[in-house]
Structure 1
């Protein structure tokens, strides 16, 4: 069984490259998001095992992703 990944970055180029690389290695990418809010929504829908987040997202988006909002995500 492969781990299910959600990729979060504001660069579409990075997201597509990361997705291609991970999938070539047999990793299941269940979603990609460009904002923290979108990432939380997709995480609730897809239940990924791993969430790879760009920590250089704009402060509001990144802080939303890294703070209490993720606390509501079911483990």
Structure 2
């Protein structure tokens, strides 16, 4: 395996790890607030965005979905 292949594998695995790590935030909050479908969608989208665009995209998607989950919970409790 040459250094370019090793670099590419490390880049892909790192981006995937970041997406999964940030996707855990809306997943856990969504499951706790009983919004399972939205939580799973948020986890998947965050993971994919981390894989495609990296750290900032995964963070942004994660925060947006977390806000949506929390706002929907507040709206449904009114």
TM-score, normalised relative to structure 1: 0.27
Point out which structure has higher relative CO (alpha carbons under 8 A, 6+ apart): 1
> Which structure dedicates a bigger proportion of its chain to strand?
1
Of the two, which has the highest radius of gyration?
2
> Which structure dedicates a bigger proportion of its chain to helix?
2
